[in-house]
Chain A
Amino acid sequence: MNDRLAVRKTYKLYVNGAFPRSESGRTYEVTDSRGHFLANAARASRKDARDAVVAARGAFGKWSGMTAYNRGQVLYRVAEVMEGRHTQFCAEVEAGEGLSGSKARAAVDAAIDRWVWYAGWTDKLGAVLGGSNPVAGPYFDFSIPEPTGVVAVLAPQQSSLLGLVSVLAPVLAAGNTAVVVTSKQRPLPAVTLGEVLATSDVPGGVVNLLTGDAEELGPWLAEHADVDGIDLTGAPAGRAMELEREAAGTVKRVVRPSATEPDWSTDPGLSRITPFLETKTVWHPIGV
């Protein structure tokens, strides 16, 4: 008989490479799919979102300035560390999403594979999405994709790990930095991903994970003048249009949510990378 006392957990946010409590001091209870208590999570406030944007902006220069190859290596390293946490991820996905053990394992496997897949894309984007353009003049004309900047991500509410990875990894692979609002009911895999990111080689501030309510934080991020793009996948039902209108105030790149949460197991292609890339075209005089 094991009569050891349970270690009650109160998780914190992941902002700028550190694990602060919410500035508001708020927490909320996270339960499993049957309503049993799992842990306490920090409930981020708008000021946490503001701090996260400042951190993401500060980290953007370093992350986007890395060579694409190096960025790919760093992301691959994240997948390695995730693999080491495989059991923990499985337990959290199983409890949070109410999946069977084998389905949870499959979801975690797919999430890690997805991360590796995006890690491989970093140094291929230039070749696939850019190139030289034939122009009628004495110019060598070429286009290259460049990261957009700070991207706010409202992560999917249902798929807590595979969905999260599927929206976060493309943002990072493109060279952007991210402020992520995690699934409200199922934040634990995101918390663990924060611990993975903190112990891999990703510079602090590149990924900032806010557990809490997308309904509360979404408008602040959509209106924030220093956010360059927003992925509304996890936006509360019926609020996406409103958020998109707010985002238009500073002409953000917006990814609209589908009516129901997509099937994350299918091949996403480049559909989640290209919205957060800007094409720069250079006209270089030749023959003079």
Chain B
Amino acid sequence: MTHVLDPDALPDEARALMAPPPPYDDVTRSDAAFRAFLHGLPGVDQVGAEARVAMLGTRSIKTTAKAWAIDTAISMVDLTTLEGADTPGKVRSLATKAKRPDPGDPTAPQVAAVCIYGDLAGVAVETLAGTGIHVAAVATAFPSGRASRAVKIADVQDAVANGADEIDMVIDRGAFLSGRYLDVFEEIVAVKEACARPGQDPAHLKVILETGELVTLDNVRRASWLAMLAGGDFIKTSTGKISPAATLPVCLVMLEAVRDFRAATGRQIGVKPAGGIRTTKDAMKHLVLVNETAGPDWLTPDWFRLGASSLLNDLLLQRQKLRTGHYSGPDYVTVD
């Protein structure tokens, strides 16, 4: 189909390079068309979303179901350290913890990945070799995303060269909020290209929407669709540097988006809430939300992750409580 009447339409060859999967291969033909598509997505009923997560949050999960939920949540954790003061030593100890979260109990599962800055990815790769635990690196001028595209691409290439097999990129919220959706889209496409690894599958791309800065749930829905159309493998709520970070209503909207996207295109996209998930109860609420919104297909570490640092210790304390029958304390988990 040609759109001769659309004055800012991209040339066909440029579009072919970054076309979204059908039936949406047409929506990015121009800024105007893309805006019309994103603004044409159904609005989110915010009160309804809050009521739904509040209702799902009251589910009581006990005994064997709780044990399963705790182990599943541990296996979904992206164990994260994103401090300016990070050192190779700290990353090494984090990676060691990822391999065996509870030194006193070998039955505790491994976490899904460690999430660190790109320059330290090499250290993590070395420590985690042969374990199957992924190394996720944040890139593209994390957490603000305020750098030129060339710098962001270089950041990603550097992280991939250091051995990261998952890249957590941030979108340009300034461009998104001022309505330059195609800019954001093109940037994600460019980053996705930079994730290529010769001779291997490309590094997994997680797109951080930073929902705390998007203000409305309508924007969260638009940003989710934008990221999925641009080829992100995961959509992630937040950097963890902005409050509010991962809230349940936001997660609900994103899970609805991945569900609808798979129904329309056949492509499954993962979801990663990150930041602010500190307790086992929070984690279990998220698991209930996944099961009830996107469905059990998403209840694996391949399709759902929890970005967290202190959450893991709380999960381990609850795990110890179930195993021993008495409450445990912070003396019985590692200090990170």
Contact = CB atoms under 8 A, between A and B. Distances in A.
B326 interface: yes
Interface centre among B327, B330, B331, B332 (most CB of A within 10 A): B327
A4 B320 CA distance: 54
B326 A226 contact: no
B329 A249 contact: no
Interface in A34-74: 50, 53, 57
Contacts of B329: 53, 57, 224-227
A20 to B, nearest CB: 16
Contacts of A225: 320, 326-329, 331-332
A225 B333 CA distance: 12
B328 A223 contact: no
Contacts of B327: 50, 53, 220, 223-226
A225 B318 CA distance: 12
Interface residues of A, number: 11
25 contacts: A50-B327, A53-B327, A53-B329, A57-B329, A57-B330, A220-B326, A223-B325, A223-B326, A223-B327, A224-B326, A224-B327, A224-B329, A225-B320, A225-B326, A225-B327, A225-B328, A225-B331, A225-B332, A226-B328, A226-B329, A226-B330, A226-B331, A227-B329, A246-B326, A249-B326
A50 B330 CA distance: 13
B14 to A, nearest CB: 57
Contacts, number: 28
Contacts of B332: 225
Interface string A208-235: 0000000000001001111100000000
Contacts of B330: 57, 226
Interface of A: 50, 53, 57, 220, 223-227, 246, 249
**Do most interface residues of chain B lie in helix, strand or loop, or is the interface mixed?**
loop
Contacts of B320: 225
Nearest to A53: B327
A220 B327 CA distance: 7
The 5 tightest CB contacts between A and B, nearest first, are A226-B329, A223-B326, A224-B327, A225-B329, A225-B328
B330 to A, nearest CB: 7
Contacts of A224: 326-327, 329
B310 to A, nearest CB: 13
Interface in B310-336: 320, 325-332
Interface in B184-209: none
Contacts of B331: 225-226
A50 B320 CA distance: 14
Contacts of B325: 223
Interface in B278-329: 320, 325-329
A225 B326 CA distance: 7
Contacts of B328: 225-226
A284 to B, nearest CB: 28
A76 to B, nearest CB: 32
Contacts of B326: 220, 223-225, 246, 249
A162 to B, nearest CB: 31
B303 to A, nearest CB: 32
A227 B330 CA distance: 11
